[in-house]
Structure 1
Amino acid sequence: MDTPAELGNFLRSRRARLQPADVGLVSYGGQRRVPGLRREELAQLAGVSVAYYTRLEQGQSGNASDGVLDALARALRLTPDEHAHLRNLARPGRAARRPATRPATARAATRQLIAAMGAVPALVLDARYDVLAWNPLGHALLAGHLDAGAPERPAERPNTQRLLFLDPHVRELYPDWEFEARRAVSSLRLAAGEHPDDRQLAELIGELTMKSPEFAALWSRHPVRGCTSGVKVFHHPLVGPLELAFQMLRLPDSGGQGVLAFSAEPDSASDAGLRLLAGSVATAPSASPAAGASPADRISGPAPARGGGRPAR
């Protein structure tokens, strides 16, 4: 990722969303050449020289102090996540770096943990949102049309961001897909700032930018937000509507891995639907169906043959 360029783009996007009146400055009218605050206005608010701020926005100053970055964050009214992102972009040498190593794997203890969570959909994700492991209910909830063993093969690992934007089956899971897309891009922006040297993460962003106009449009707005908890609304092809709380539990000393788990309000319709899905998983055939099968086929198996012909589709 071109971190200096990203820093400039991020600062310009945040200047553009503020008007002088928003920050207590007097606007004397007339035609403004740029949307939002001018560089000199932001520099005044942050207490730095215009020349210094210009160098920073152009990526020519890689040693900005905490005081300067904190002042800019206050002037731009950044959220805590945006403030952390600004620090990562302004000083990429201090951001977490991912060395070039063999493909990541989930620890045995982590796999054991999610396997024990039989009634809870759970996945192990790395920092770029590759699925390193999932339990049967997590697989059935999010990607039942994919081979359950795909996370074990690095070249075929599902990526939750790629699935959301490029897989029509996953897209149909979300009644409010646009909201999920915004949330996903916000999280990916934060990850990109935390791991500026991750080549595979940069390749993923490039792929999504090329293949999904919706991703490209959202990415250009520079949203930044860490989405570690909240609620996701699904329309699952097997059990219908589900409203599930989610938590992303970061694992220490794991290079950014985390466990993503879902739960339903006890005795709710979503709780009943989740139990129904768990029951379907428990009775599913042990053999892995073809990767292209629909979610219903993957759990229920193909329909019996009609009149000696091919199995009904």
Structure 2
Amino acid sequence: MTLSVPTARPDADLVIGSRGSALALWQAEWVKAQLERAVPTRRVAIQIIKTTGDAILDAPLSKIGGKGVFTKEIEEALLAGVVDLAVHSLKDLPTRLPDGLKLGCVTQREDVRDALVARDGIRSLDELPPRAIIGTSSLRRQAQLLARRPDLQLADLRGNVGTRLQRVDEGRYDAIILAAAGLSRLGFEARIAQRIPTDIMLPAVGQGALGIEIREGDSTTQAAIEVLAHHRTWHACEAERAFLHGLGGGCQVPIAAHAVVDDEGRLRLRGLVARVDGTRLVQDELTGDARFAEDIGRELAERVLAQGAAELLAELHT
């Protein structure tokens, strides 16, 4: 599928490229407000760009190309100069960016956890009835759910947040799993039955943070977005993304990671690689100086590969 990328640049000092979903627009509007607040005379516009991932809604995400399907057209507009920055849920941004683009900054992270949204007063994963039908498009979530509850029936779930919630209300699923941060940003906190602890379900790499992608060498935009930067979150996500990169994975692979930086600048990174059916999880953790976040991520990737993750990843590619 080929989608047309806008060629006309809006008349503004800075132009933000964004998908058109409610969550993507919330994120873009939030960034716009921060940039305008920092410099009240600055004119900031949002250019909505439809991506391949938005256009294909009838196939599992793992079958249509992974994370890049939500970024490709926006990145083309960025490289063409039609937009100056792209706002992404960082978990959707691949670790390998196109030549000429870079991750300019990362915003302060919100709740990193996954959230259970369920029917009939169910308040936790453990309260789900036997063989309950759970909607999720994430192999990472699927593997960790089945590791804890192998009786559950997993069904693919696509569409925007409102559509997904509606499908629970209609009884198509007993429950669904979504990112807690996205639900909170859209005002759906009351729908959260359980914020699933990270010792039960490790989140996606970068979950809860926004990544601001810009052109390499664009010092003007880099200076403008510094108001958005949160350096503790940057180090945490840098370690997680290095872990993912070291494994060569994307959202077609059940990989999870979560890093936390304490007040003393120590970084703790936990990482996981799973078999899709949840019958095997390989996980480990590593602690070190946050200044060496990438090194920590790479080392943890090497450790889990040696402990059996290489075998699991090979299974997924055969």
Work out whether the TM-score is over 0.5: no
Structure having the higher helix fraction is: 1
**Higher relative CO (CA 8 A, sep ≥ 6), structure 1 or 2?**
2
Calculate the TM-score normalised by the size of structure 2: 0.26
**Larger of the two Rg values belongs to structure:** 1
